[in-house]
Structures are given as structure tokens and as C-alpha cells.
Amino acid sequence: MKKILITGGAGVVGTAFIKKYYYAMEDGCKTYKFYTYSRGEKQIAALNDKYPNIETIIGDIKDLDHLINTFERIKPDIVIHTAAIKHVSLAELNPTKTAENNIIGSLNVVKASIRAKVPLTVGISTDKACSPENTYGYSKKIMEEIFMEHHNEDTRFICTRFANVADCEGSVIPTWKKLASNNEVLKLTDKRMNRLMFTTEEAATLIHKAIDYSNLHPKKSFILSKSMKTVNMFDLAKVLSSNIEIIGTRPGEKLNETLISNKELPYSKVWEDYILIFKEMQEEKYRYSTELSSLTAEKMNSIDIAKLLA
């Protein structure tokens, strides 16, 4: 049984991964033993109610000593690093705390993994890190670089790059659903705004695919993402309510976001339904062909939108 420790594991992404793989079996035995390292007491309690066999550690990734002690005690086979400040507007208003959490905290995870000789550590990144234009994006871009810099065959470091995860706490879909159920106004910054989105289950699958690829190719550090569809946010809002107010863009917000940039295409490789980005240039015949952004991606249809809102 492999031991997986998830930083921020009581959050939406960590919980989604646990939900999908908690009962996974291999040769008649459970595949994984889960540990979470989180600071949200309410979320931890809710997670323990659902999954009582998880060991939960209350901790902050900014506390290097506690992080090292935890990693050395547990000796995880895999660390999944999800803990971060994730909201663009909050990061713009709090750049110091964002840097402390998303950059210094990520570096602490790297140091703890190296100290405890963790075989594989997976960092969770975002489309905001591709051609960054806001504090959150810059912090995650630096995290990607830190992880790839420290990769070696004994302590591997890789990343996944997400688009918007539909049900993340405090994000637009759960916020709008709650407002719509109360017949309150839905606030949208711009009718032209488009976003690449996928579900929590797809996010969990992407993380596991990154683990699989790294096990097959241990010498390589990479960022793993996937082709996904885009949704116009005004169209999405109209499915939920007709009571919509346009309020103007917030600091750090873009009308469209890029998941794979033109600059990254020479370093990309297509694998199954996924896209890898390496530090080294790849053979042209294996590369992803065009920039992938919320402006250029295939648009969601009504069935896709219904799946997001389910």
C-alpha cells in the first residue's frame, strides 16, 4: 500500500482525489493510505466524517520545521501539493501573503520532500501561470519552476496545470448557484469573459495521470495538462438566472486565459488525451499544434454546461 500525503488535502481538489481513489484496490488490497496536511479545522472534520481512515495533520506549509517532521515521520511515497492561496482578487490585495504561501510554502514542501526522500511530489498549478499577468499567476509560475529545478530520479518533482475547477470553494459556480437559489443577483465582470473549466473528478484524474507518467518516465520533470473546453461566463450565468449584473473586471482579471502558450509549444508533447510540457524541446511530430486558451478552445454545449453545474 502506497502512502499519499496531500497538503491542503481537506480542500476541494484534495477531497476529490481522495473520493476517487480512497477505495482503489490492487491485488485484493487497498492501493493507497491517505494523509492530509491542512489548517482548516471545519474542512478537516468534514473530511474525517466521510473518510475515517485518513490520518489528518493540522499544519501550515509556511511552518518548515513541522512540515519536515511530518514528512519524516510518515515517509510518504507520494506528496500531492494542493495548499495555496487560489483566488485572483485576494492574491492581488495580499501579494505578501500570497508569496509566503504559494512560493515560500511550495519551496518548504520541496525541502521537506528532499529531507524525507519522498520518491514523487506533485505540484498543482493553474492556467494563470501560463503567460502570467497577476500575483496568483506569477506565484504559481515560480512554483512550477521551483519544482522542475529540483527534480531528480531519487526525489522527483512534477506539476499538473489546471484550468478552473468547477466546484472549488468560493469560486464562481457555487457562488452563483447559491445566489440563484435565493433569487439574488448574479454579478459578472464582463459579458465577453471566457473560461476553460473542468470538473473535480477530471482534476483528480489529471493528478493520477501525472503520477502514472512519472512512474513510466522517472528521469523527466514535466507539467501535465489536458485539452478542455471553454465556456462563456455570460452564457453560463444565463443558465442559472436572468437576474445578472455586469460590474466590470476586477484587478488581475483577464477576459481570456491561456493553458498552453505558443512559446510552450516547442516543449510540448501529446500523450493520450493529455499535454506534457518539458524543459527540453520535443520532436515536432509529437508536439501540441496550437495555443490552447479560453478564446481558441472548443466551446461547451448545453450538455457540457449541465455537467459542470450538476
The DSSP secondary-structure symbol of 184 reads P
Name the residue among 31, 249, 263, 13 with its Cα closest to residue 129. 263
258 burial class (0-12, 13-18, 19+ CB within 10 angstroms)?
A: buried
Could you identify the residue written with the cell 528521469?
219
Alpha-carbon distance 203 to 124, whole Å? 10
DSSP H helices, 75-104, are 88-93, 95-99
Phi, psi of 156 (to 5 degrees): -85, 145
- Cβ atoms of 85 and 128 within 8 Å: the answer is no
- Cβ atoms of 197 and 164 within 8 Å: the answer is yes
Q: Which of 3, 42, 117, 128 is catalytic?
A: 128
Asked about 128 being catalytic, the answer comes back as: yes
The DSSP secondary-structure symbol of 296 reads T
CA angle at 70 for the pair 215 and 11, rounded to the nearest 5°: 70
One-character DSSP codes across 12-52:
HHHHHHHHHHTT-EETTEESEEEEEEE--HHHHHHHHHH-T
Tally of CB atoms within 10 A around 95? 15
DSSP H helices, the chain, are 12-21, 41-50, 64-74, 88-93, 95-99, 105-115, 135-149, 172-181, 200-216, 233-240, 302-309
Q: Are strands 230-232 and 194-198 parallel, antiparallel or unpaired?
A: antiparallel
Which residues are tagged catalytic? 128
